[in-house]
Amino acid sequence: MKRYISFLLAVLMLVTLVPTAAFADAAETDMKASDNLKLLIKGWEGLRLTAYKAHPSEEYWTIGYGHYASDIYEGMEITLEQADAYFEQDIVGFERGVNNTAKKYGLSLTQNQFDALVSLAYNFGPNWVDYNTGWRLARYIQQGFKDSYGNPVSDLELADSFAVLCSAGGEILPGLVKRRINEAEIFLYNNYSTELTHFVAGVFNANGGTVSGNRVVAYYKDKAYGSFPNVSRDGYKLDYWKDSGTGQAVTTSTIADKTRTLVAVWAGGATPEPTTYKLTVSGGEGSGSYTVGAKIKLVPSANGTKIFDHWEVTGATASKGSDGYWYITMPASDVTAVAVWKDGCLFGDNCPSKNFADVPVTYWAHNDIDNVVSAGMFKGLTETNFGINVAMDRAMLVTVLYRLDGSPDVSEYENRFSDVSSSQYCYDALLWGSHNNISNGYADGTFAPNETLTREQLVTFLHRYANYKGYNTDVYADIGGYADAQQVSSFARESMCWAIGAGIINGTSSTTLSPKGSAVRSQVAVMFNRFAGGMTF
C-alpha cells in the first residue's frame, strides 16, 4: 500500500539519550509499539476528522491519523474517538508485520528498534521489507543489519538508508525527511525527541541537472559535510552549492548543523540560472528561494496549546488546497508568510467548557462551544459532558433559539402540539416557537420533539428566527451548483440559500449539501456562533 503523508502537528518530548546495543535478547512474546511512538506517529500523521486525499494519485481516501482504506469516502466525517479507534486498529497490523519480519529474518529487537520499524511500516505497509528488496534498508534488515560482506552497518550508513525513503510520486517531502532521520535516531539511540542530536539531512536540488546517486543524504550533526553527491548538466559546470533558505554558499567544509536543501548553481551554458525570489515563512515550513510560478505548501508548526488560525501573507495570495493546507504561487517578488494562532481557549482560566471532558482546548470547536455556553444558548447534557457527537433533535434546536431570545414569558401562549406536555424540558421553548411562527410542527398536529433535526430544518428555523428578530436576511447564494440541490425540500430552499450565502452553514463537501443529513451538537454550536456573530439589523 503506497501512502502519502500530511503534517499538521509536531510532538515535543524530552528523553534521556542512551546509545543502544545492536540487538536485545529475543522477546518471549510479540512486541507492541510504545506510547512514545504512538504520540510521535499521531503528530507526524496529523489529525483530520474529514476524509481527504493526501495525493491526487491515491486510490482511496484518508481520515483520522492517516487511516487509509477502501471504505473511507469523500465527505466522510468522524469523531476524535473514532480516529483513535482507527489508529489503534491500524497499529496492530503494523506491529504484527514487524514481529513477523523479525521472526522471518531471525532478528532480536530492542523496544526502540521495534518502534522505528513500526513507524516505517505505518508509511509503507506491514510487509514492506519483503516487497522492496531494492531498498538498502530492506536488505540490511534481511541481512541482520550487516552489509553484503557480513560487516555491521555503520550508524551513519543506517541513518542514510532511512533518510532516502522520503519521496512521494518522485517529490521529496520535507516532513518525511525529518521523520526518517527521527526514526533513525529512535532506532540507534533511543531518542524519541523531535530535537535531533546525531544526524541531519542534506536534500540536493540539481537545479536542471541530474544528481548521481541519492538526492537525500544523511550527515553527522555539527560536523563538516565532508562530501556531496556528484551532479551534472549538459553544457554547464557546477559552480557551487547554495542554501535554498539563505542563498549562502555551502561547501564540504561547512558544518552540517541542520537539515537544509542545497541547490546547485551552474556556470556556463546558453541559459542563465533561473531568477528566484525569496519566501520567508515564520511559524512554519516553506521558506526558500523559488522561481516564478512555483507552488509552495505552507505547513504551520506546533505552538504549544495554541491553535493555528490563518496565514498573514505579504506579496502574494494564499489559497487553500483540497488537502487542507494553504499554498502560495510565487510571483516575481519576495514574499513573507506569518502563521497566526489563536489561544487554545479565548476565556483563559474562566473557560466556560472547562468541566466538559469532551471539549478539551485542542478540540476543533472548543472556542465556538465556549461562546454559545457563555451566552447561555447551550448547556451540557450533564455537568461533565457537552455531548459533542450527540445528534441534535428538533426540541434542542428550538430550546437554543428560545434561550437566545432571552427565554421570554409564555404563560399566555397556547400549546398547539399533541405530543408536547408541560412536563417536558422543552415545553416553554416550543410554545414560544409556535407562537412566533418559528417552529410550526407537522400537519397532523405533532411537533416530534425527539426527532433528529435535519440540516434543512436547522436552516429553516434559523432563517425564521432571523426574520422574527428583524435581522438583515438579504444575503443569498445560488445552490444550483451542488449535486444534491434538488433534494432540498421546497419549504427549506430559500432558507438554505440564505444560510449558505450568510456563511452560517457550509456544504458537507464542495459538491454536496446533504439537506436530509443530521448535525451533531458541536456542529450546531459552531453554526450558532456564526449566526449570533454575523446578524445585523
How far is it, in rounded angstroms, from Cα 50 to Cα 101?
Answer: 33
For cell 456542529, the residue is: 523
Q: In what order do the strands lie in the sheet with 260-267?
A: 216-220, 199-205, 260-267, 237-243, 249-250
Q: Which three cell numbers stand for residue 521?
A: 451538537
Q: What is the amino acid identity at position 311?
A: W
For cell 443529513, the residue is: 517
How far is it, in rounded angstroms, from Cα 196 to Cα 175?
Answer: 14
Q: Which letter, b or e, does each residue of 379-402 get, where b requires 16 or more Cβ atoms within 10 Å of its Cβ?
A: ebeeeeebbbeeebbbbbbbbbbb
What proportions of the chain, in percent to the nearest 5, are helix, strand and coil? Answer: 30, 20, 50
Q: Which residues contact 234 (CB under 8 A, 6 or more apart)?
A: none
Catalytic residue among 45, 95, 183, 185: 45
Answer yes or no: are the C-beta atoms of 470 and 537 closer than 8 Å: yes
How far is it, in rounded angstroms, from Cα 317 to Cα 208?
Answer: 27
Q: Angle formed by the axes of helices 174-189 and 155-163, to 10°?
A: 150
Q: Which helix (H) or strand (E) holds 171?
A: strand 171-172
Give 463-476 as a 3 state SS string: HHHHHHHCCCCCCC
Answer yes or no: are the C-beta atoms of 417 and 445 closer than 8 Å: yes
Residues constituting the chain: 537
How far is it, in rounded angstroms, from Cα 514 to Cα 494?
Answer: 16
Look up residue 492 and give its DSSP letter.
G
How far is it, in rounded angstroms, from Cα 271 to Cα 1?
Answer: 42
Beta strands at 260-267 and 199-205: parallel, antiparallel or unpaired: parallel
Q: Closest Cα partner for 77 from 460, 487, 512, 529?
A: 512
Q: What is the amino acid identity at position 252?
A: T
Q: Residue 412 catalytic? A: no
Q: Closest Cα partner for 66 from 302, 323, 434, 361?
A: 323
Look up residue 316 and give its DSSP letter.
S
How far is it, in rounded angstroms, from Cα 3 to Cα 189?
Answer: 27
How far is it, in rounded angstroms, from Cα 518 to Cα 391?
Answer: 7
So which residues are the catalytic ones?
45
